[in-house]
Amino acid sequence: MQIAQSKTSASPWRLLPLQQLIPWIVPAGLIFVWQVLSQLGLLSTRILPAPTAIVQAAIQLTLSGELIANVGISLYRALVGFLIGGSIGFGLGLLNGISPIAERFLDSTVQMIRNIPHLALIPLVILWFGIGDPARLFLVALGVFFPIYINTFHGIRSLDPNLLEMGEVYGLRPRELFWTIILPGALPSILVGLRYALGIMWVTLIVAETIAANSGIGYMAMNAREFMQTDVVVLSILMYALLGKLADSIVRVLEHWWLPWHPSQGI
């Protein structure tokens, strides 16, 4: 234990700065080559704009407020869709995980719907909701629902039944059993589901925004394509990547807070 602790706490400090830089050498090199090729005219701007052009586009769109407005609306759609789908998935996962009757009643239905790729529903969803925000929120919520549901459900079901028996022997009431054993025991699995769900959230939003939208990052990209502004297209793609990375980092922080006991946290 002590060896492992000193290893994890010492390495980031002692090995600075060279070791920390190594992972960045290849990406930095690629960007450099890309820039050189663009400036020499070997890489047409129609295919890929120079990195500096993308930075310029970013500055321009930020100053005009367009970038922030579009990122804001995309974030809003992602978040609302996620909250709706995630909370339904979490609630249903808890219910079916705890109650075998509810599981028998609902689980096979959920599994059947899960086998439909949710993006295949786009034509139907457009017929139902039109091309406004409700259609996009519906798709995001649907996509997010399944990973959260399945991982919550399995997190509870794969709990060690011996721990639950122990809890009963030690006089825990059902409510206490839930808060001290069931939920903390299922939490690692729930967070895995959260990670998957965030990935699906962005993918769904990208597709939904490129098909029919008049705002958002996807709209920004599709609109730029009409005018052959490859720099804006690439910028939009980078924005998605950045937001995806941000979401992933948030889950990592949550894991750090909520699972300090977990082997993945290096104790």
Partner 1 sequence: MMTQIEYQGMSIHSVKYENGARLKIQNLSKAFGDFQVLKDINLEVSPGEFVTVVGKSGCGKSTLLRLLGGLDQPTQGQIYQNGQVLQGLNRDARVMFQDSRLLPWRRVLDNVSLGLKHQAQQQGQWALDQVGLGDRPQQWIMQLSGGQRQRVALARALVSQPRLLLLDEPLGALDALTRIGMQNLIETLWQEQRFTALLVTHDVEEAVCLGDRVIVIEEGNITLNLPITLPRPRDTASVPFAELKVQILDRILKRQRPPVSEPAYTAPLFAT
CB 115 within 8 A of CB 56: no
Q: What CA–CA distance (Å, rounded) separates 187 from 185?
A: 6
Asked if 171 touches partner 1 (CB under 8 A), the answer is yes
Q: Is residue 27 part of the contact set for partner 1 (CB under 8 A)?
A: no
- Give the C-alpha separation, 16 to 14, whole Å: 6
Minimal distance, residue 167 CB to partner 1, in Å = 8
Helix 122-129 / helix 133-157 crossing angle, nearest 10 deg? 120
The DSSP line for 6-34 is HHHHHHHHHTTTHHHHHHHHHHHHHHHHH
- Rule CB under 8 A: is residue 181 a binding residue for partner 1? yes
Asked if the bond preceding 117 is cis, omega within 30° of 0, the reply is no
> What residues between 186 and 245 interact with partner 1 by CB under 8 A?
187
Nearer to partner 1, 41 or 260 (CB): 260
Would you count residue 257 as binding partner 1 (CB under 8 A)? no
Among positions 35, 45, 87, 180, the unique one binding partner 1 when judged by CB under 8 A:
180
Q: Determine if 170 is a binding residue for partner 1 (CB under 8 A).
A: yes
Site for partner 1 in 139-168 (CB under 8 A): 160, 162-163, 165-168
Phi-psi region of 160 (alpha: psi -120 to 50; beta: other; left: phi over 0): beta
Nearest residue (CB) to partner 1, 85 versus 167: 167
Which residues lie near partner 1 (CB under 8 A)?
A: 1, 160, 162-163, 165-172, 176, 180-181, 184-185, 187, 259-263, 267
